[in-house]
Structure 1
Amino acid sequence: MNHTTKKKEQSKLAMVLDVISGSFAPIIGILAGAGLLKAMLSVLVMFDWLSIENGSYIVLSAAGDAVFHFLPVFLGISIAIKLGANGYVGGVIGVSILSPEIVHLVENGVDSLEFFGLPVLLSDYSSTVFPIFMAIFAYAGLERMLKKVIYKDIQLFMNPLLSLVIIVPLTLLVFGPIGTLLGESLGTLITFLSDKSGLLAGAVLGGAWTFLTIAGLHWTIIPLAIANLATGPDPIIGMAAAAPFAQIGIGIAVFLKTKDKDLKALAASGIVPGSLAGTTEAINYGIILRYKKTMVYVLIAAAVGGAINGSLGVVMNSFVLPSVLSIPAFTPILPFLIGIAVAFALGFIFTYVFGFEGKTEKAKDNYDLIIVRPEKISSPLHGKVVPLTEIKEPLFATESVGKGIAIEPEDGKVVSPVDGVVTTIFPTGHAIGVTSKDGAEILICIGIDTVKLKGQYYQAHVKQGDHVKRGDLLITFDLQQIKAAGFETTTPIVITNSEKYVDVKAPNLGNVNTLEDLLQLNI
Structure 2
Amino acid sequence: MSYQSLAKEILQLVGGEQNIIGVVHCATRLRFTLRDNSLADKEKLKGTDGVLSVVESAGQFQVVIGSHVSEVYKEFTKIANVGAATTSSDEPKKSIGAQIFEVISRSISPLLGVFAGAGMLKALLAILIMTGILSAESGTYFILSAAGNAVFYFLPIFLGITISTKFGANPYVGGAIGAALLEPNFTSLLKNAGDVSHFLGIPVVLMNYSSSVFPAFIAISIYAALDRFLKKIIYKDIQMFMVPMLSLIIMVPLTVIAFGPFGVYVGNGIGQGINFLFSKSGILGGAVLGGGWTFLTLLGIHTGFTPFIIANLANGGDPILAMVATAVFAQIGLAFGILLKTKDRSLKALTGSTLLPGILSGITEPILYGLMLRYKRTIPYVAIAGVAGGAISGAVGAKAIAYAFPSFLVIPTYAPIALQAIALLVAFGCTTILTIVFGFEDKKKKEVEESKVEAGQPLVKQEVIGSPLTGVIKPLADVDDEAFASEAMGKGIAIEPNVGQAVSPVNGIITTVYRTGHAIGITSDQGAEILIHIGINTVQLKGKYYSIAVKEGDRVNQGDLLVKFDIDKIKEAGYKVTTPIIITNTDRYIDIIDMNKETVQQKESLLTLVI
- Helix, strand or coil for the counterpart of 1:50? coil
Contact kept, 8 Å, 2:214 with 2:264, in 1: the verdict is yes
Distance of aligned partners of 1:343 and 1:12 in 2 relative to their CA distance in 1, 3 Å threshold = same
Contact 2:189 2:197 in 1 (8 A): no
**Structure 2 unaligned regions, length at least 5:** 1-57, 60-91, 449-475, 477-482, 490-513, 521-551, 553-611
Partner of 1:218: 302
**8 Å CA contact 1:44, 1:50 repeated in 2:** yes
Matched residues in 2 for 1:420 and 1:251: separation?
Answer: 31
Counterpart amino acid of residue 325 in structure 2: A
| 1:337 pairs with one of 389, 409, 421 | 421
- How far 1:158 moved relative to its partner? 1.9
Q: Whole-Å Cα distance in 1 between the matches of residues 246 and 436 of structure 2?
A: 62
Asked if residue 93 in structure 1 is aligned to residue 187 in structure 2, the reply is: no
Query: Partner letter of residue 236 of structure 1?
Result: I
1:155 aligned partner: 239
One of 275, 285, 291 as aligned partner of 1:191: 275
> Are the counterparts in 1 of residues 411 and 417 from structure 2 also a CA contact under 8 Å?
yes
TM-score by length of 1: 0.65
Q: Which residue identity is paired with 1:42?
A: A
Give the partner amino acid of 2:184. Answer: P
Is 1:165 aligned with 2:258? Answer: no
Q: Which of 155, 159, 173 is the aligned partner of 1:71?
A: 155
Structure with max Cα Rg? 2
Which of these residues, 340, 358, 364, is aligned with residue 280 of structure 1? Answer: 364
Structure 1 residues 252-291: aligned runs within 5 Å: 252-258=336-342, 264-291=348-375
Q: 1:15 to 1:260 in 2, by over 3 A?
A: farther
Q: Deviation at 1:258? A: 4.6
User: Percent same amino acid among aligned pairs?
Assistant: 51
Secondary structure of the corresponding residue to residue 107 of structure 1: coil
Q: Answer yes or no: is 1:141 the counterpart of 2:246.
A: no
Q: Is the 8 A contact 1:233 1:316 kept in 2?
A: yes
Could you tell me how far apart the structure 1 residues matched to 2:319 and 2:325 are? Answer: 10
SS at match of 2:168: coil
| Alpha-carbon offset, residue 11 of structure 1 | 4.6
CA distance in 2 between partners of 1:22 and 1:222 (Å): 12
1:260 CA drift (Å)? 6.2
Deviation string for 1:223-250 (max 9, x for gaps)? Answer: 1111111111111111111011100011
SS in 2 for 1:241: helix
Residue by residue, what CA displacement relative to the aligned partner does 1:436-465 show, whole Å, maximum 9, x if unpaired?
xxxxxxxxxxxxxxxxxxxxxxxxxx9xxx
Could you tell me which runs of 5 or more consecutive residues in structure 1 were left unpaired when the two chains were aligned.
1-5, 373-414, 422-461, 463-523
CA-to-aligned-CA distance 1:374-419 (integer Å, 9 cap, x gap): xxxxxxxxxxxxxxxxxxxxxxxxxxxxxxxxxxxxxxxxx99xx9
The equivalent of 1:202 in structure 2 is 286
1:293 Cα deviation after fit: 2.2
- Is contact 1:294–1:351 with CA below 8 Å preserved after alignment? yes
SS in 1 for 2:363: coil
The residue that corresponds to 1:119 in the other structure is: 203
Aligned residues: 375
CA distance in 2, matches of 1:236, 1:80: 28
Give 1:189's aligned amino acid: G
Q: Which has the higher contact order (CA 8 A, sep 6+)?
A: 1
> Deviation at 1:263?
5.1
What corresponds to 1:520 in structure 2? none
The residue that corresponds to 1:38 in the other structure is: 122
Q: Which amino acid aligns with 2:392?
A: I
Q: Over the residues paired in the alignment, what is the CA RMSD in angstroms?
A: 3.4
1:463-521 deviation line (CA, Å, top 9, x unaligned): xxxxxxxxxxxxxxxxxxxxxxxxxxxxxxxxxxxxxxxxxxxxxxxxxxxxxxxxxxx
- Structure 2 residue aligned with 1:453: none
Closer, same or farther: CA 281–101 of 1 in aligned 2, 3 Å = same
Superimposed CA distance per residue, residues 179-217 of structure 1 (whole angstroms, 9 cap, x where no aligned partner): 111111111112112211111111111111111122222
Conserved in 1, the CA contact under 8 Å of 2:108 and 2:306? no
Structure 2 CA distance, aligned partners of 1:371 and 1:206? 27
Distance 1:28 1:314 in 2: 23
1:355 maps to what in 2? Answer: 439
Question: Greater shift after overlay, 345-354 or 118-127?
Answer: 345-354
| Structure 2: distance between partners of 1:226 and 1:135 | 18
Which AA in structure 1 matches 2:197? L
Whether the 8 Å CA contact 2:152–2:210 is kept in 1: the answer is yes
Deviation at 1:261, TM superposition (A): 6.5
Q: TM-score, normalised by structure 2?
A: 0.56
Matches of 1:258 and 1:86, distance apart in 2: 54
Cα deviation 1:350-378 (Å, max 9, x = unaligned): 2233233334699xx979x9979xxxxxx
Cα distance in 1 for residues equivalent to 2:195 and 2:361: 41
Whether the aligned pair in 2 keeps the contact of 1:285 and 1:370 (CA below 8 Å) is: no
- Which residues in structure 2 correspond to 1:294-443 (within 5 Å)? 294-359=378-443
